[in-house]
Amino acid sequence: MHSPTDLYERFLRIMETNLEGDEVVDPLCETDWIRILVTRKAGDPVCVQLEVELVLPACIIDALRTDQPLGIPSCKTARTFVETTINHLEYLVRLEDIGLELSVAPKDGIWSASTTIDNTPPIPFFAELIPPVC
């Protein structure tokens, strides 16, 4: 479980690192369902792109199937998976409520919320970024 202070301090560490290359993408937080990424560009290293991605974990849910391919975990139930997905989609909507913009890439199965930041946000902003607990 991440705390707002953990995310804030991680963000500060990311901002203090030197840029190597034209663009650097650093993970701020990652769970089985959520990736929060900070993208900095060499031309303007203080202005960063913050992106929260919801990516469905690899999971097979088929009530009629008894065998599961190797390397792909079987989910407990389809209902649990659907409820967890809804919980994470509601999280993205809450992020829109605090000013992030929503995007959907259906072919890739990625829903996201993003914003551009020119100053370090206060700790309460990072409290809103805390992903749901599965």
Q: In what order do the strands lie in the sheet with 44-55?
A: 23-30, 34-41, 44-55, 110-117, 101-105
Where do the structural domains in the chain lie, given as residue ranges? 4-129
Cβ 54 vs Cβ 111: under 8 Å: yes
Per DSSP, the three-state class of 39 is: strand
Which of these CATH numbers, 3.40.50, 3.30.70, 2.40.50, 3.90.1150, describes 4-129? 3.90.1150
What's the rounded Cα separation, in Å, for the pair 4 and 7? 5
What pLDDT shows up at residue 128? 96
Instruction: For the chain, give the mean pLDDT.
Output: 87
- Whether residue 53 is predicted with pLDDT greater than 80 in this model: the reply is yes
pLDDT digits (tens, 9 = 90+) for 86-100: 999 999 999 999 999
- What is this structure's pTM? 0.85
